[in-house]
Structure 1
Amino acid sequence: MNIQILKELKPYSLFELQDLFNISEDEVRSILKSLSLMNIVKKLSKDTSKIELEELLDIDALNQLNAQMESNIYVFKYVGILMIGEICLILYPKYSDKYLHDKSNNFKMLKQIVSVIRKYQSKEQKIGLGEQFGLENFNLLSIALELINSYYEHGLYRNDEQIIEQNGYGETLWEKTINESTAYFSDGVPVYLDIYTVNQENNEQDFFRRLHAFVITEACNRLRDILEILDIGCINISSEKAESFGNKEYIIYRLNQELSTQFITHKQNVLKLMRRYIEEDVSENISETISFVGTNSFNLIWEDVCSVVMDDCINKSIKELGLSYAKNSKQSTLLSDVIAKPKWKHSASGKIHKSKKTLVPDIITINGNQISIYDAKYYKIKLDYNEVKKQPGIGDITKQYMYELAFIDFAKENNLSINENAFLMPTDEKEEIRLGTVSMEIFHNLGDINLHDIEVILKPCEEMYKSYLNK
């Protein structure tokens, strides 16, 4: 398998990708077209605006692209693993400056990132068959990982057999014993010398158990190189061939029948995964054999990581937190309800309508008598003596100030002090970096109200991910 290491939002020319993929130009174009439809790849040209390039590309100077922009440039808006035929692309997050060293480190960073992605997707129910891209794409890699995880948690699919025997060691079948055995009476009490018993025994030759073993074994063999990178041992528990189970239509018919009578959730999931695997149509077109485990929305994963690790309280009730809120004393009032909803007033009637939504911070934490306000930002900011680049926009800065203003009265009512207001951004460094602050003068001319400058804090991803996976 041709394994290549790439980086999210790093620009690659068509010729660079052709060299990496080691296939013809037409095949590369076909792959890139398929990935573009899945919103994984974006094509840039000399007509792309400078503003879009500055926001999108992982480069320090646009003039690095001047010569290349005469031809097409491609960026991958994706983090994780892409498998396209015999080509495996490993895509690291845009914040990482050390991604090229991960191979010599036994892919430690990649394994952790994939685990984080899979945990998030399982919480959001977006893992398994690849519906996140809106396409009926057969996703071998994701299906195989789901089957392996299920196997280690629940073992092979099983349908137990009931074995009824005379004088066995299982549960006594009294109705059958009374109806079919001779009763002997002792002091008026019936005694049965022969009783019927029932035992539940695992049916090793069950069709679906054998099929489960075959599918796991074959999928592992097809993905041996990738599983080795992820430190996942190949499962080899079947020597049967596909022909042993009949043709595709017969197998799918049997799986559908079993699904109609199976009500245990993890067994239903296994049956659906096996059905999707069997339904695969092997295509000779390499661009139609794309499978993946990863995301094109890593910003949402970073938000969830920060929320979980920082112990976000925004969706907890004020009562649960042991606090009070004079403006809304309902027991169900959440911390997010502290920020009032907009009110719309009809001039002629005076009727007021309250909006259903309002501003909601990413993260609010309460520790002791301190409250902190955070916004998780998936930015690769550059802030130093010379310049600031790739920073949050004016809208993000304004909202952070608004969050603090909204919580001032609530904090006073509960004798809390606002500790900090900050943007949380990722770094692959080992320690937290307090990079700097951002402020707006308009928010510091509010009389007696003293608002914090908004801090820029770079959180060490390895430690953040480790905490996230342990919670």
Structure 2
Amino acid sequence: MEIRSKYIREQRRYSRKDLMDIFHLNQEETVVFIIKLKAYGVLKMVKATFKEKDLTDLIDEEIEIVDVEIETEGYYYVFTFVGVLTVGNIIIKCFPKYLLHKEAPLDEMKQVLKVLNHYNSKEQIINLFNGDNEQSAFNLLAVILYILNDYYENGLYTNQEDVIETNGDGEILWDNTINDTFAIICNNRPFYTELQTTNTVDDEMNYFKRLHQCILTECSKKLEDADLLELFEMDSVVISEEELSDFGDVDYVLYRLYRELNVQFSTRKQRVLKTIYAYILHSKDSEDNYGISMYGTNSFNLVWENVCAEVFNNQLSTTIGKMKLPMELHKDYQERKKDTLLEIIDKPIWRYFQSDGSGHDNPAKKTLKPDLISLYEKEAGMCFGIFDAKYYNIILEKGKVKGQPGVGDVTKQYLYQLAFNPFILKNRFACVQNAFLMPTEEEDALLNGEAEIEMLKGLSNPPLINILVVKIPAKQMYQYYLSGNKLDIHKEYLFL
């Protein structure tokens, strides 16, 4: 079966004819293709209007619920996913929407996939299924990637056995030595020229080690055939000439795996065995039924937020007693040293009026929550940065603005600044910066403009500042993120 591997831009508007041409599908195949992708929430439909064609973002109000088999014209199809999708023999490489000038951004996608892996690295589960339960489609791609990545990190599955050696380095087995060897008697004392010792060695012919080698070789071949080895920057693994059938029929192999699971207590070994079990049990059906596999996310905005928070050294959850401040913590906050910046924001009060006219205050549990707060040095002194990571493709030009955050987003940035103003003023920060941080494919950062709501600026004295619109090179941010380093904000971006 011919593999069709294609690049798709996230949130670009595609017509049905576009999809047919890109993936070489006929009308009937296209309907099945669309239905499958819609079922997993990675493809949406919007009305094909002139206004809609040039948009790069998607809001819930635009999404249409229509019968795919009936409607053939009048709609655009929008991929809301970043990563890799497989649908039968079709490989879809969905790249982020801010990559506007390349149709096949191989190098950029390699980096994005590393970022996705880093973002998910804290997860201890394997995404075996595309959904919340095992009735969902088996996620073959995620399982293959897990099996290979585990091998690169931990090596082959091995079992060890105890063997008896002659004059080895291990512990002496005196019973075996006395019973099985000859002694030289000197001065009524026995001397043994050959000592029986014990040693623990890897069982090179172990069934499960050989099975692991076979599965690894098969998984590597699948990625190679799908043109994905290079994209995931993986080396080819060819360490076995055996076929799965050499280990017995499927039921027998699964039975052996089940029994091995019951005697293994190593977490890593259990995880490898369970993943191989799932791979053998489901992979054939997944391929025969043209199932969907996916590696990525349909919420890349959360990834961008995490990248910005890590690289800009988010201080929101740091206790104020441990922060580097322009001066000693102001006396008004001395008793709140163990509070975080989030905890010093006022919470809403819901006041109940009793029959006698008195009131009872009920503080809410939640309050405003900024994306990230960064404290950094400038020539004038310490700066208090209130930043919001926005995954938008804004177009801000003379007489033109498109793809911008909503009025609610602008309002919240002013309110965050207002909430922190007492802390900023009393602890004598030299300046405040309030900004939206948006990704760009360009090499250099750009101060694109600012957002302003005049009536909100006067809520404070001194007046609240406007919200800057800053485009940040995603490539540079990912490099910092993957290396675990923090960015020197003012040194890199003089306008902040």
Is 142-151 or 435-444 further displaced after alignment?
A: 142-151
- C-alpha spacing 1:247/1:3, structure 2 compared with 1 (3 Å): same
Q: How does 1:319-398 map to 2 (within 5 A)?
A: 319-322=321-324, 324=329, 326-327=332-333, 329-330=335-336, 332-348=338-354, 350-368=359-377, 369-398=382-411
- Structure 2 Cα separation of the partners of residues 99 and 52 of structure 1: 18
Give how far 1:149 is off.
1.5
- Structure 1 residues not aligned, in runs of 5+: 59-67
Is 362-371 or 116-125 further displaced after alignment?
A: 116-125
Q: Which residue of 1 aligns with 2:113?
A: 114
Tell me if 1:93 matches 2:99.
no
Q: How does 1:71-470 map to 2 (within 5 A)?
A: 71-100=74-103, 102=105, 107-125=106-124, 128-131=127-130, 136-172=136-172, 195-224=195-224, 225-283=227-285, 288-322=290-324, 324=329, 326-327=332-333, 329-330=335-336, 332-348=338-354, 350-368=359-377, 369-446=382-459, 448-470=461-483
Give how far 1:378 is off.
0.5
Is 385-394 or 336-345 further displaced after alignment?
A: 336-345
Is 150-159 or 252-261 further displaced after alignment?
A: 252-261
- Structure 2 Cα separation of the partners of residues 197 and 169 of structure 1: 7
Q: 2:155 corresponds to which letter in structure 1?
A: G
- Structure 1 Cα separation of the partners of residues 113 and 219 of structure 2: 19
Q: 1:399 corresponds to which letter in structure 2?
A: K
Q: 1:468 corresponds to which letter in structure 2?
A: Y
- Structure 2 Cα separation of the partners of residues 269 and 418 of structure 1: 51
Contact 1:31–1:286 (CA under 8 A) maintained in structure 2? no
Contact 1:380–1:390 (CA under 8 A) maintained in structure 2? yes
Q: 1:340 corresponds to which letter in structure 2?
A: D
- Structure 2 residues not aligned, in runs of 5+: 60-70, 485-496
Contact 2:16–2:73 (CA under 8 A) maintained in structure 1? no
Is 165-174 or 75-84 further displaced after alignment?
A: 165-174
Is 186-195 or 157-166 further displaced after alignment?
A: 186-195
- CA deviations 1:199-258 (Å, max 9, x no partner) are 111111111111111111111112202113443221011110111112222222222332
Q: 1:402 corresponds to which letter in structure 2?
A: L
Is 307-316 or 14-23 further displaced after alignment?
A: 14-23
Superposed CA RMSD:
3.3
Give how far 1:433 is off.
0.6
- C-alpha spacing 1:238/1:406, structure 2 compared with 1 (3 Å): same
- Structure 2 Cα separation of the partners of residues 132 and 469 of structure 1: 28
- Structure 1 Cα separation of the partners of residues 171 and 421 of structure 2: 67
Contact 1:5–1:91 (CA under 8 A) maintained in structure 2? yes
- C-alpha spacing 1:166/1:383, structure 2 compared with 1 (3 Å): same
- CA deviations 1:301-339 (Å, max 9, x no partner) are 110111111111112222332554735735542222121
Contact 1:167–1:196 (CA under 8 A) maintained in structure 2? yes
- Structure 2 Cα separation of the partners of residues 353 and 77 of structure 1: 41
- Structure 2 Cα separation of the partners of residues 151 and 295 of structure 1: 24
Q: 2:252 corresponds to which letter in structure 1?
A: Y
- Structure 1 Cα separation of the partners of residues 421 and 286 of structure 2: 63
- Structure 1 Cα separation of the partners of residues 95 and 460 of structure 2: 47
Sequence identity, in percent? 37
Contact 2:137–2:286 (CA under 8 A) maintained in structure 1? no
Q: Which residue of 1 aligns with 2:63?
A: none
Give how far 1:282 is off.
3.0
- Structure 2 Cα separation of the partners of residues 157 and 35 of structure 1: 36
- Structure 2 Cα separation of the partners of residues 357 and 188 of structure 1: 87
Aligned length: 457
Contact 2:458–2:464 (CA under 8 A) maintained in structure 1? no
Give how far 1:13 is off.
1.6
